[in-house]
């Protein structure tokens, strides 16, 4: 395709595959639109060199999607007591702004740049879009409900003088299910931390964007989407569900074939998939309780285990494992559950597992990418939120959509083995689980309709494409 006839989009995701993958899926969708005349460059801020797996994945992108991995920034000066995971991501982007500007400056010399799409933590880059006179957008890779929280956070900060978890009243946002203060995003639960200040900063700047693209769809979040659209500032474009339904790593064929063989031998809808995402970790005690609870349930399962960590629920994002996580399982667990369970260390082909006919439930940490994959496959859930916006997502799934069960914690914050066993049996073998499965399959159909040629998400993305094409023609 001739460069003179191609509208180019610069995208700035935040570090981590959980954000990069939705940006890539958005790029692919833009390129697949009818009469699409676009190309995309991903400009990736980093705080460490890309891993071999990330490099491998990025090397497989279509020709019209290129990427630039910026030089890693140094975060050694940050105080871990006050700077959490989200603040580190924000600092990574902010400290990379000069390099982002240089990359964009190079792009505009050879391409017709029409739009600038930043991550939720990338509003610092708005100034670069204005410098080059292109429209600026935010791509919010999670739920419209979480975006509403971010959008209203500065207002909540003024009206709620205490920590949110101590606020006795329900927090009501336009079009949204009422939330307890403790169920707001984890990074805003301590007002003394830098994470909180960063969230106030970025949430306050969303209205400066020409639009916000959200990875959700009408049937999934009609209330939050309706209120955001009605407000009109910023303009909202729901374009989901965008999911990565193929394996992104090419060096895991052993685990893939092992999972497929196990699933092929099980009855339909009989297997519970258990995974806490790419970053989620459990404490040592909770790890043991989960193992025994799964065993007590008597249900079939595939469990992706990761070495326990007693300090952080998202420790796997920042630490490569040096010990064998299987060694932390209860004595004899693997032998006792061999006939009906498969334990995989560190990674499993999640999309293939969820889409297999033998899978009937998913115990999840409530990461939005994982939720959308479950919706795409019509799989009901057990929700076990750990960090980020996952508690907010859990409320949406259990109280609003009613497609998930949530096990109760004991007074010491641990979910006990008996509770786990009962919840697993309820989802996999109870009437409640059957109702959840029915509703989840209705959402699956809703997602399919949204992405159909005349669907709401396709029309929303086509509207954006039309705006960007007109910018190219007028430039």
How many helices and strands in the chain, by DSSP H and E? 18, 13
Quick one: 129 exposed, middle or buried, by C-beta within 10 A (0-12, 13-18, 19+)? Answer: buried
Which tokens hold the place of 277?
């995402």
- Tell me the C-alpha distance between 118 and 88, whole Å: 17
Angle CA(448)–CA(374)–CA(357) in degrees, nearest 5? 90
Q: How would you label 206-239 residue by residue, b for 16+ Cβ within 10 Å and e otherwise?
A: beebbbbbbbbbbbbbebbbebbbeeeebbbbbb
Active site residue 202: no
Residues 6 or more apart whose CB falls under 8 angstroms from that of 419 comprise: 293, 407, 408, 410
Cis-peptide into 467, omega within 30 deg: no
Q: Which tokens belong to 451? A: 């992405």
All residues at 6 or more sequence positions from 385 whose CB lies less than 8 Å from its CB, including other chains: 365, 366, 391, 393, 394
Please give the structure tokens belonging to residue 101: 């500007």
Catalytic residue list contains 19: yes
Compute the Cα dihedral for 448, 453, 456, 457 and give only its sign. Answer: positive
Two structure tokens written together for 85: 């995971």
Give the Å distances, CA to CA, from 248 to 61, 157, 280, 426, 470: 11, 39, 19, 32, 34
Q: Would you state the structure tokens that stand for residue 470, as one six-digit string?
A: 């007109």
Neighbour tally for 431: CB within 10 Å:
8
> Residues 67, 119, 124, 356: which is the catalytic one?
119
- Tell me the pairing of strands 7-12 and 341-345: unpaired
| Collapsed DSSP state (helix, strand, coil) of residue 282 | coil
> 3-state secondary structure string, 6-40?
CEEEEEECCCCHHHHHHHHHHHHHHHHCCCCCEEE
Q: Which residues are catalytic?
A: 19, 119
């Amino acid at each position: 395709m001739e460069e003179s006839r191609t509208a180019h989009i610069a995208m700035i995701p935040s570090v981590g595959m959980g954000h990069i993958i939705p940006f890539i899926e958005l790029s692919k969708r833009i390129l697949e639109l009818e009469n699409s005349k676009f190309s995309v460059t991903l400009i990736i801020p980093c705080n460490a060199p890309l891993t071999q797996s990330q490099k491998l994945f990025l090397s497989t992108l279509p020709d019209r999607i290129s990427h630039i991995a910026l030089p890693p920034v140094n975060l050694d000066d940050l105080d871990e007591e006050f700077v959490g995971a989200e603040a580190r991501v924000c600092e990574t982007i902010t400290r990379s702004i000069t390099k982002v500007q240089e990359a964009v400056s190079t792009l505009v010399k050879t391409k017709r740049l029409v739009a600038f799409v930043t991550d939720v933590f990338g509003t610092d880059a708005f100034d670069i879009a204005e410098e080059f006179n292109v429209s600026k957008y935010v791509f919010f890779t999670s739920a419209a409900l979480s975006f509403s929280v971010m959008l209203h956070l500065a207002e909540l900060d003024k009206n709620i003088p205490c920590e949110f978890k101590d606020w006795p009243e329900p927090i009501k946002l336009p079009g949204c299910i009422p939330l307890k203060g403790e169920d707001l995003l984890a990074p805003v639960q301590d007002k003394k931390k830098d994470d909180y200040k960063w969230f106030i900063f970025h949430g306050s700047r969303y209205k400066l964007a020409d639009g916000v693209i959200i990875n959700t769809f009408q049937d999934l979040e009609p209330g939050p989407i309706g209120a955001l659209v009605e407000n009109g500032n910023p303009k909202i474009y729901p374009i989901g569900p965008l999911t990565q339904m193929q394996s992104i790593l090419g060096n895991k064929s052993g685990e893939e074939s092992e999972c497929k063989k196990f699933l092929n031998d099980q009855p339909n809808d009989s297997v519970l998939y258990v995974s806490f995402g790419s970053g989620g970790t459990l404490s040592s005690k909770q790890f043991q309780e989960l193992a025994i609870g799964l065993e007590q349930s008597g249900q079939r399962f595939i469990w992706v285990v990761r070495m326990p960590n007693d300090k952080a629920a998202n420790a796997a994002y920042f630490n490569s494992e040096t010990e064998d996580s299987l060694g932390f399982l209860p004595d004899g667990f693997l032998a006792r559950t061999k006939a009906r369970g498969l334990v995989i260390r560190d990674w499993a082909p999640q999309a293939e597992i969820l889409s297999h006919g033998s899978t009937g439930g998913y115990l999840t940490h409530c990461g939005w990418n994982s939720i959308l994959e479950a919706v795409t496959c019509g799989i009901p859930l057990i929700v076990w939120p750990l960090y980020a916006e996952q508690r907010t997502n859990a409320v949406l799934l259990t109280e609003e959509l009613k497609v998930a069960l949530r096990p109760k914690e004991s007074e010491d914050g641990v979910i006990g083995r008996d509770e786990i066993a009962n919840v697993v049996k309820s989802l996999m073998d109870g009437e409640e689980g059957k109702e959840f499965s029915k509703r989840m399959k209705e959402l699956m159909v809703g997602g399919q309709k949204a992405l159909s040629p005349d669907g709401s998400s396709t029309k929303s993305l086509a509207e954006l494409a039309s705006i960007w094409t007109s910018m190219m023609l007028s430039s």
